[in-house]
């Protein structure tokens, strides 16, 4: 059975140990796991977070968003090496927090930071496969799943379609590396919701839950019947993780990266409640 998670970007970004209130809220609402990006990766800081999630009995998921100088698909070898190091350090963060999944666009930051030049795709794909093969060895050793998330055209020039991500994941050929899908991006790029999910099958390692505007499910135009049916059909049993947003608690950096400019529901807490109600009703 899938477990239910929520990304703290609904309330703050990046996550830090002083936001224990969010962890308590997530637990209190009834979620199994908490997903976040963490910038301060010092052992002391991670130990503080570990203590709180352990106390609350929450599982953790780490979301990786590299900066422009940490991209494993960059033409510059120095940047790629920094990118590999960045993702490998995130695997260490996962270990420190006992997280079993590293998710998100770990290959490069969005379009704001990295655009593939015309003619550069073949090289970028080669770099992705080579770097990810190296990273995968460490992930396999640690027992951590890396789920690669295609983004929409406004956030990535590299991976927009599940089909392309699956082709590259196939070349990486590691049990540690699979696909991460998000209906918010799929809604813009994919011909259907069911097709890519079914094509991924057991290589679907992570799934984000949010509406076409990043609000709670069933408040917009996403076809949830289609998604729920196909997730059940493939026997999906990893995390279903809410990645809804509200710009109120977020700084300008992440708002610019994601294009978050207005509230997408009554309040962040209400979005979190409604999203879990939906998950329990349809996937519980």
Which parts of this chain interact with Mn ion (CB under 5 A)?
Answer: 182, 208, 243
Q: Is 149 a catalytic residue?
A: yes
Identify the three-state secondary structure at position 137.
helix
Neighbouring CB atoms inside 10 A of 47's CB total 12
Pair 209, 272: CB distance under 8 Å: no
Residue 208: closest CA among 237, 235, 181, 177 = 181
From the list 35, 125, 189, 243, the catalytic residue is 243
**Cβ 219 to Mn ion shortest distance, Å:** 17
Cβ proximity to Mn ion: between 79 and 148 the closer is: 148
Is residue 36 packed enough to be buried (19+ CB in 10 Å), middle (13-18) or exposed (0-12)? buried
**Cβ 183 to Mn ion shortest distance, Å:** 9
**Cβ 76 to Mn ion shortest distance, Å:** 27
Residue 272: closest CA among 244, 238, 239 = 244
Neighbouring CB atoms inside 10 A of 19's CB total 18
Q: Is 243 a catalytic residue?
A: yes
From the list 149, 155, 189, 190, the catalytic residue is 149
Cβ proximity to Mn ion: between 83 and 150 the closer is: 150
Cβ proximity to Mn ion: between 190 and 243 the closer is: 243
**Cβ 182 to Mn ion shortest distance, Å:** 3
Q: Where are the beta strands (DSSP E) in 72-227?
A: 101-104, 145-148, 177-181, 204-209
What residue number has its CB nearest to Mn ion? 182
Is residue 234 packed enough to be buried (19+ CB in 10 Å), middle (13-18) or exposed (0-12)? middle
Cβ proximity to Mn ion: between 127 and 208 the closer is: 208
Identify the three-state secondary structure at position 16.
coil
Which residues are part of the catalytic machinery?
149, 243
């Amino acid at each position: 059975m899938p477990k239910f998670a929520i990304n703290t970007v609904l309330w703050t970004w990046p996550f830090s140990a002083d936001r224990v209130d969010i962890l308590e809220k997530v637990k209190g609402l009834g979620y199994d796991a908490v997903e976040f990006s963490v910038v301060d990766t010092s052992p002391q800081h991670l130990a503080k977070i570990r203590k709180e999630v352990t106390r609350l009995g929450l599982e953790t998921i780490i979301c990786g968003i590299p900066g422009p100088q940490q991209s494993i698909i960059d033409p510059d070898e120095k940047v790629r090496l920094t990118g590999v190091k960045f993702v490998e350090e995130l695997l260490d963060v996962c270990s420190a927090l006992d997280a079993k999944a590293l998710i998100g666009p770990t290959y490069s930051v969005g379009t704001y930071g990295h655009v593939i030049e015309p003619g550069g795709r073949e090289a970028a794909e080669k770099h992705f496969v080579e770097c990810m093969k190296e990273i995968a060895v460490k992930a396999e050793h640690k027992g951590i799943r890396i789920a690669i998330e295609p983004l929409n055209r406004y956030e990535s020039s590299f991976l927009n379609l599940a089909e392309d991500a699956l082709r590259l994941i196939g070349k990486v050929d590691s049990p540690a590396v699979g696909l991460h899908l998000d209906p918010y991006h799929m809604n813009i790029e994919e011909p259907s919701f069911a097709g890519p999910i079914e094509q991924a099958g057991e290589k679907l390692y992570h799934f984000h839950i949010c509406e076409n505007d990043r609000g709670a499910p069933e408040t917009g135009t996403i076809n949830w019947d289609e998604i729920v049916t196909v997730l059940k059909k493939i026997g999906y049993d990893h995390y279903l993780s809410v990645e809804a947003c509200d710009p109120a608690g977020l700084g300008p950096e992440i708002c610019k990266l994601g294009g978050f400019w207005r509230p997408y529901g009554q309040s962040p807490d209400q979005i979190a409640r409604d999203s879990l109600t939906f998950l329990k009703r349809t996937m519980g």
